[in-house]
């Protein structure tokens, strides 16, 4: 259940402190140390899974349900105007802690210091080819 040397297992197990804002049988949510924006929260299952790619689908569903409730609470308490809810899977995707977690990041305005952007490659891509590869 608990992975040695996993910082999030240790937070879930209360071995090291975290500012926990939600706890139930399956998951906890706590403030991210780095606060990408004010209120930035992580929702994690108590049980260790390396990432969303290998987590139990029922657990993923539960973690995202909790993320929705907290996103609304955080948005209301801090008077935010939006929210990013996301999970990084794998180092190439920016995952640094290899225990599945969902970021809840309230957004205030376009100048709130966080940039998440998708570069537009639409002119150069072969959408048909990509589609065929996925549908084979």
Q: What is the DSSP letter of 37?
A: S
Of Zn ion, ligand 5GP, none, which one sits near residue 83, judging by CB under 5 to 8 A according to partner kind? none
Task: Establish if 37 lies at the interface with ligand 5GP (CB under 6 A).
Answer: no
Residue with tokens 């959408």: 127
Strands (E), 2-112: 20-23, 27-31, 41-45, 82-86, 102-107
CB of 69 to Zn ion, least distance (A): 23
Residue with tokens 């004010």: 38
Binding to Zn ion in span 39-58, by CB under 5 A:
48
Binding to ligand 5GP in span 58-77, by CB under 6 A:
none
Q: How far is CA 39 from CA 24, 42, 86, 91, 106, in A?
A: 20, 10, 15, 24, 6
Give the three-class secondary structure for 42. strand
Task: Establish if 97 lies at the interface with ligand 5GP (CB under 6 A).
Answer: yes
Q: Which is nearer to Zn ion, 3 or 85 (CB)?
A: 3
Task: Establish if 7 lies at the interface with ligand 5GP (CB under 6 A).
Answer: yes
φ, ψ of residue 19 in degrees (nearest 5): -85, 85
Task: Establish if 85 lies at the interface with ligand 5GP (CB under 6 A).
Answer: no
Task: Return the active site residues.
Answer: 101
Task: Establish if 38 lies at the interface with ligand 5GP (CB under 6 A).
Answer: no
Which residues in this chain contact ligand 5GP in the complex, by CB under 6 A? 7, 18, 30-34, 88, 94-97
């Amino acid at each position: 259940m608990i992975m040695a040397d996993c910082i999030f297992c240790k937070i879930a197990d209360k071995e090291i402190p975290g500012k926990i804002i939600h706890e139930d049988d399956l998951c906890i949510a706590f403030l991210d140390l780095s606060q990408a924006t004010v209120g930035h929260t992580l929702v994690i299952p108590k049980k260790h899974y390396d990432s969303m790619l290998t987590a139990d689908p029922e657990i993923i569903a539960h973690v995202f349900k909790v993320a929705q409730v907290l996103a609304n609470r955080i948005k209301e308490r801090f008077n935010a105007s939006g929210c990013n809810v996301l999970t990084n899977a794998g180092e190439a995707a920016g995952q640094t802690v290899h225990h599945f977690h969902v970021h809840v990041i309230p957004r205030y305005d376009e100048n709130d210091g966080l940039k998440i952007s998708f570069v537009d490659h639409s002119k150069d891509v072969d959408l048909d080819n990509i589609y065929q590869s996925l549908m084979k």
